[in-house]
Structures are given as C-alpha cells and as structure tokens.
Structure 1
Amino acid sequence: MLFISSKYMNNSPNSFIRKLPPHVAMGVNFLTLNSSRYYFAGHEQETVYLGDRSALSKIVKVDVVGKQLKILTIIAPDSLRVFNDVQLRVDSGRVFLLEGMKSQVWTGNIDDLKVTDKINTPRFSSALILDNEALILKSTKRGEGVLFKQDDRSGQFKIGRGLLQKQVDGFFCTDGNLVKVPHTNKIFYIYYYRNQFICANTDLNLIYRGKTIDTVAHAKIKVARVKSTGQITLSSPPVYVNKQSTANEKYLFIHSGLKADNETVNMHEQGAAIDVYNVSDGKYKLSFYLPDFNGKKLTDFRVYGQSLYALYDHYLYRYQLNF
C-alpha cells in the first residue's frame, strides 16, 4: 500500500510542463560491471573512478574509451576500522576516504593509493572536496541541517549560516545533495523533498536561491519520535522531488521524481527525467529522458564536460550531450 501510494503521488498531476527537445542526449557505449553496488568516486580526463559498497577499500578505474576496467586497492593504516558509510573520492590526483560517522577524512596520493593524512571533522552525512583540498560538509547543529567549510590544514571551519532553511523538523526537511561546479568557486545544494536549490560560493556565501520547475514548495514529509530511543524518524514515505544531481561548468542537472503534465505515465515510469538549469542564474533550460537500460532503472549519474555517465544496476552507460 505504501508503494502504491508513493507511486500515485509521483505520477499525479503536478501543474508543470517540461521542454523536451529531441536528440539532446545520444547514447555512445556501455560497459558491463561485475557488481550492482558501484557508485561514482571521481573523474580525470577519460577515466571514471567507481567505488564499491561491498568492498570498501576498492576503487575501479574505468577507461571509458578503451572500455577497460582495473581494480585498485586503497592502502590504509592498520588502526583504521571503516564503517559501512565510508565513501571514496578521487579528486585532483588525490584519493579521499570519507567517514562521516567516525568524524574523519583520510587522504593520500592516487599514484601509490596510500591514505596516510588524517583530517578530524565533526560528524557529516555528505562532503565535497574543493580544489585546494578544503572540505564542504553537510552536518547537523542542534538537530538541524547545516553546511560548513573546513580547511584541511588549519582545521578551522566556517558555518554557512542561514543557507539551509527549516520547513518541518529541520533535519529531514533540509536533507539534500551537495554538488560542485567544476573549475569555479560555486557549489549547489539541492533539497530532496522540495522544489528549491541553493547556489553559494565556496566560502558559503549565498549567491542565489533557485527553484525547480515543479510546484512542490513545501516538503511533503511526516516525522515521529521513537519513544524507546528518542530518535526522530520519517513516519510515512516521503515524496522525492529531486533525486540525484550533478553539474558541469555551464549547467546543473537534476533527476526529478515527478511527472510533468505533458508526459504520459509510461514515459515517467520507463525512464528518468533529467531537468537542466543554468549555473549562472538557476533558470530552467530544458529536459530529457534517460530510458531504462536492459530493464534496469537509473541509480545514479554524473556529467563531466559533454559526457554523461549513468549507472544502471551493473551497467555503466555513456551519453554525449548535444547542447
């Protein structure tokens, strides 16, 4: 019943339409992977790095032109005991091991794969690596979501005061996705449950607030407190407005969970709607669909330059963007 109700909410009329020009994203090639538990860890030129949720110290190096796969093993100190929330990132020739539950980030050189430098942080749920190896982290303060910047050398941090705005509980209602704009000083924070996103600079000063094209201005979530533990939890299935997000130098790409009024139910159920916004001002540009591949749904995607990489279960598909 919960599945049916959530499916109805996502497919019901939402009072917006999408611009769907043809031939916006053209398929190039795909690779078959040996696991469905991969996630995007980074990118360098013609190489994509994938992390493996079932092997926390492994990175798969993918040559997207030659369609070659190479498994790399991260060498960590013996004292390091990772939790299941660990995430690997590759950025600017460095490899980062992010452990939000244990409040630490380990880093090292991608050439020898040794993570030896430790950065102590507050607990965090997501992180961005900036070009100077500073960190933008999503954390909590007094039970509400907050963004802050931490310098990797001095350990000093700056809180982005007023960036995240409470609607319901301050924790779940501010949940979202952090995105870095390559080769700029801009970042985005896209809320999961409402039609809003934030553009800020890397010092966490607000540049502008933007809106997605749908009409869900208030997060449709219900929360409850567990009496035995005192923890706050979601008491009903949330309506995902914005699922995954990514950006290149010009555009912000958002995987929307909602059907537009000019789309059929089959269109929405057999593909992933990607809405595109200008980085400069947040204005809507166009949309396109990434269709299901071999019966598999899109699980995540990234845009690097004019190439879009999509994960479908154990497939990695590459698209060429024509705009």
Structure 2
Amino acid sequence: MKLSGRIKRIVIGCICLLYALLFVYASVSKIMDFERFQVQLSQSPILSAFAAWISWAVIGIELLIAALVLYSRTRTIALFAALSLMSMFTAYIFIILHFSSFVPCSCGGILEKMTWESHLIFNLFFVLLSIIALVLQNQIYQQGVRKIKMQLYLGLVFFLILISILFMIIVYLFSEQIIHHNNPFIRRYPKSAVILQGTIDVKFNSYYFAGNSNRTIYLGNYTDPLHLLSIDETGSKKTLKLHFDHRELSFRSIRILIRDNNIYLLDGTVPCIFRGNLQKREINTELKGMPTFTVAQPMDSATIAFRNNTGKNKTTVLGIFYAGNLPHVRFAPHLLKRQIDGIFDSDGMLIYNEEMKLFVYNYFYRNEFIAADRNGSLKITGHTIDTIRHAKIKVAYLKNNTERQMGAPPLKVNTLTTTKNNLLFVNSKVPGRYDDLKHWSRCSVIDVYNLKKNSYVMSFVIYHNPDLKVQDLFVTDTHFYVIAGGDLMIYDLGDLLRDEMKIALEKMNGA
C-alpha cells in the first residue's frame, strides 16, 4: 500500500521529533553532569584517549542535529548526520561487547539503566528510523523537482553507515595504541579487577611480605626477624620460628625472603646473606663475598641482584653477586640513569620476577622502570603512565659537599611495586587526568603493566583506613595481598588479570 505525501510527511516529522527529543535530552543530561560524563568516556576502552574533545564534540553535534532536524530545509542533511552518529554509537557498543578487554559503565541519562545489549537494540531502532525517514524524504523529492534514483540513494545511505562504522573501528585501534603505549595519563578502572576476599588482623604494623611457597604466603617481621607468620589459602595463621646460629654478627636491618623452598636472611649493613631450607626452617649456609647493599633480591640459590652506593661519587648502582667456588660481583652502572645527584634521584624499589627471570627496578621519583637479566643486561625500559619523567627533588649539600639530604619534600611518583608472571603492579602517588581527588585520601591506586608488551593494562583501587599506611604489596597467580597497618587484606584477582597472566604464561611455556 502506497502512503500519501501527507502521511509520509507526518511519519518523517514524528521521526525527526523523536531524534530532537533524544538528542536534546541526551546532551542536556551530559551538560548537567559533565564531569561525570568525561570520566565515563575516560573509562571507555574505545574513547578514553580522546575523552577531552569527544565529550564536547558529542554534545555539540547532538544539539546541532536536534536543531537542524526540526526545519524542513535542513532536515535531510540532519537525518544523514543522525544516521551517521547513531551508526557510530551502534558500532561502539558492538565493539565494547565483542572486542573490548572490559565492559565499562554505561553513559548517563535515559540509557543509564539499560544493559549494553538493550542499548544496542535501542540504537539499532533509531538507525532504522533514520533510514525510513530518509527513504520517505527521497520519495517526496521524487514527486517534486529534486530526483535521486532510489538505488543510488540507498547506496549512499548504506555507504554512510559503512564509513561511520569504519571510523569507529579506526578510533578504537588508535585509542588502544595510545592508552597502552603512549598514555596521556588516563587510567582505566574495569569492574571487578580485584575482589576483596577478606581482611586478617595480624596485630602489628611491622610485617612485610617475605614470599610464598606451596600456596602459602609468609610474612616477615622487622622487629622480630627470626619469626615468620604463615597464612594459607583458608586464612589459617601459624607462627614459625627460624633456626639461625650466627647471632654474633652486628645485624642492623635483617630481612627474610623466600624463593620456592629456599629461605634467605639478608642484612646489607654487615653485609651478609645466609640461605637455608624453608621446610626445616634452618638458615645455615652463608653466601660469602657479598658487598654492602641497601636492597637485594635472590634470583636463584647462588645469584643475588642488589643495589648499593659504590658508583662514581657514591652514586646508586645495581649489581649482581654470584656465589659459588669463586664468588664475584658484576656491577651494571649503565642500568640506572642519573638526573640530579645519582643518589636520591635514582632511589627506587628492587624486585624479582621469577617467571621471566628478570630483576625489576622501579624509580620512586620518576615514571620509569627497568628490567635486567642475571648478567646485568638491560631487557626492558618502561614508563608508568604519569607524565613525570624528571625527578622533582631538591638536594642540599652539607659539610663541604660531603653529605647530602633532601632540601625540600620530594614529589614521589611510585612507591610499592610487586610482580608476577608478565604483570607489574605499581602503587602510584600521582592522580590521573580524570581521577577523583576526594578518594585519594582513603584509597591506594594500583596501576598494572604488561612487561612482555611493555604496555599499560589497567588500574584498580584498594580502599583502606585513611589513618593506615599501605606498607607492602604482594601478588600470586590467584590473589593480591596488601598490608596496611595491622591489617592484611586479601583480594581475588578478577578474570581480566588472570586471563592477562594466563595468556602470557602459556606463551612463555611454549603452549
């Protein structure tokens, strides 16, 4: 049945009115809560890299289309624009559902209560409405002076849809590249990156993570170094006494570390490193020849990565100690880059990645970390997503330049760091571009990086008592642990992080 020109105009008018109402409502709701809208865009796996200008562009385009679609002289171009915009929105949701690494929160306004699947159907409905309106509009033109063949007209309509979809795919690919490798300091917070399993009261704030073995984590104690606290997967606690006979040494800063079934006692001020058997809880073998060190990490039973201040002008330097029949040390002065004084500006945290067989050093005062092998060869130079590439510290020289100390409070960029498989977890102290500053007093932000790809992965938030300081972090294949004051918080790793680890582990094992 053929529709009369009057009915066609009524249908077109109704569709245009629906579009005008939709876009006015959507744009006004975004303006009313613009900061939230920008934050939501910044969490999008597709648009986060362009959130600053897209947030304004979308509002402007929606209002412009809403105005143009109400006037007969501009209605056709407005309908084409509406078709293109809704096609982009539809492609965006399809990519989110089928290709995105995670599904973010939906946008506000009328669509906030919809699921992403409902949102997709809603958009497809409006795409169909715009196509109907354009076809009817062309039929009216064919009865007048502006004639376009229907086949050509429909070809133009579907070509515009294709171009809009391709544009969104290109935006997605560019955004992924920018966010993961050239990040403009925009954090992504996927849902359920970690899930709080429980909190254990360990009573004292002097605990740190010594390591794990056979699904049990071990906590060392700075004030009682020869006792360990073991906690299994059920949360059961047990205090273990270590047997160590060399108490005549002038210990000042004992630290206990565990690697598989080996247990190490380290004190860089003596200096000494002893190794023992975890099951027997005996520490009896001295690794002789170790130089003084400020921090150290066992890489295997006879190889220790360490840091000390024996570089030129007493600057910080990394090295590797090889125990055995002929103990020797290999310094790697090329690994740490001096910016100001070579001491404070090079301060950082040394950890060991057992799966990749690399020691990782993360600077405290700049957005950089490195990873090297047991020969001291640099394998990775990476950057955290903040923009502070140069340490913002002031060094005061005292007693005829023989002593140095901080001349002003420094800007700390990264603090605690831990690693597992291909992932690096960094506790950042610098708020991101769209981070809520109100939350920073009562939470800690953990940024996650993929060492294999040298890329940013995601971020998550750890909430804790604002009066308590987060003292240490630890991660296993399944859990993420936090010590804050006398609390041990246990988090399950979400599917996104487990999958990120699993894929990399399979590749490392040649699967």
1:186 aligned residue (350, 355, 358): 358
Kindly indicate which of the two structures has a greater share of residues assigned to helix. 2
Code of the aligned partner of 1:30 = T
Deviation by residue 1:167-198 (Cα, 9 ceiling, x = unmatched): 00011111111121122222211100000111
Code of the aligned partner of 2:303 = A
Give, in whole Å, the separation in 2 of the partners of 1:205 and 1:59. Answer: 34
Kindly indicate which of the two structures has a greater share of residues assigned to strand. 1
1:115 aligned residue (266, 283, 290): 283
Give, in whole Å, the separation in 2 of the partners of 1:102 and 1:196. Answer: 31
Give, in whole Å, the separation in 1 of the partners of 2:272 and 2:247. Answer: 15
Hey, what does 2:262 align to over in structure 1?
A: 94
1:187-266 alignment, distance < 5 Å: 187-227=359-399, 230-266=402-438
Indicate yes or no: 2:207 matched with 1:35: no
CA distance change for structure 1 residues 114 and 45 in 2, over 3 Å: closer, same or farther?
A: closer
1:52-63 alignment, distance < 5 Å: 52-63=221-232
2:444 aligned residue (265, 272, 286): 272
For structure 1, which runs of at least 5 residues remain unmatched after alignment? Answer: 1-14
Q: Is the Cα–Cα contact under 8 Å of residues 32 and 314 in structure 1 kept in the other structure? A: yes
1:169-184 alignment, distance < 5 Å: 169-184=341-356
Give, in whole Å, the separation in 2 of the partners of 1:115 and 1:229. Answer: 42
Deviation by residue 1:32-73 (Cα, 9 ceiling, x = unmatched): 112111011111122111111111222212223242222323
Give, in whole Å, the separation in 1 of the partners of 2:202 and 2:247. Answer: 30
1:21 aligned residue (152, 170, 190): 190
Q: Does the residue aligned with 2:405 lie in a helix, a strand or coil?
A: strand
Give, in whole Å, the separation in 1 of the partners of 2:190 and 2:203. Answer: 35
How many residue pairs get matched? Answer: 308
What is the deviation of 1:219? 0.5
Hey, what does 1:8 align to over in structure 2?
A: none
1:286 aligned residue (414, 438, 458): 458
Give, in whole Å, the separation in 2 of the partners of 1:111 and 1:17. Answer: 46
What is the deviation of 1:212? 0.7
Give, in whole Å, the separation in 2 of the partners of 1:208 and 1:229. Answer: 35
Q: Is the Cα–Cα contact under 8 Å of residues 37 and 52 in structure 1 kept in the other structure? A: yes
CA distance change for structure 1 residues 178 and 78 in 2, over 3 Å: closer, same or farther?
A: closer
Moved more, 293-302 or 26-35: 293-302
What is the deviation of 1:230? 2.5
Indicate yes or no: 2:238 matched with 1:69: yes
Indicate yes or no: 2:323 matched with 1:152: yes
1:319 aligned residue (480, 491, 494): 491
Moved more, 219-228 or 303-312: 219-228
Give, in whole Å, the separation in 2 of the partners of 1:66 and 1:191. Answer: 33
Q: Does the residue aligned with 2:300 lie in a helix, a strand or coil?
A: coil
Q: Is the Cα–Cα contact under 8 Å of residues 224 and 234 in structure 1 kept in the other structure? A: yes
Q: Is the Cα–Cα contact under 8 Å of residues 87 and 99 in structure 1 kept in the other structure? A: yes
Give, in whole Å, the separation in 1 of the partners of 2:198 and 2:374. Answer: 35
TM-score w.r.t. structure 1 length?
A: 0.90
TM-score w.r.t. structure 2 length?
A: 0.58
Higher RCO (C-alpha 8 Å, min separation 6): 1
What is the deviation of 1:74? 3.6
Hey, what does 2:48 align to over in structure 1?
A: none
Code of the aligned partner of 1:180 = Y
What is the deviation of 1:20? 1.0
Give, in whole Å, the separation in 2 of the partners of 1:91 and 1:63. Answer: 16
Q: Does the residue aligned with 2:439 lie in a helix, a strand or coil?
A: helix
Hey, what does 1:106 align to over in structure 2?
A: 274
Q: Is the Cα–Cα contact under 8 Å of residues 299 and 354 in structure 2 kept in the other structure? A: no
Q: Is the Cα–Cα contact under 8 Å of residues 43 and 49 in structure 1 kept in the other structure? A: yes
Give, in whole Å, the separation in 2 of the partners of 1:155 and 1:139. Answer: 18
- Indicate the percent of aligned positions where both proteins have the same amino acid: 26
Give, in whole Å, the separation in 1 of the partners of 2:426 and 2:302. Answer: 26
Hey, what does 1:6 align to over in structure 2?
A: none
What is the deviation of 1:163? 0.6
Deviation by residue 1:117-153 (Cα, 9 ceiling, x = unmatched): 2223111111111134310001122311111111121
Give, in whole Å, the separation in 1 of the partners of 2:235 and 2:204. Answer: 20
Hey, what does 2:96 align to over in structure 1?
A: none
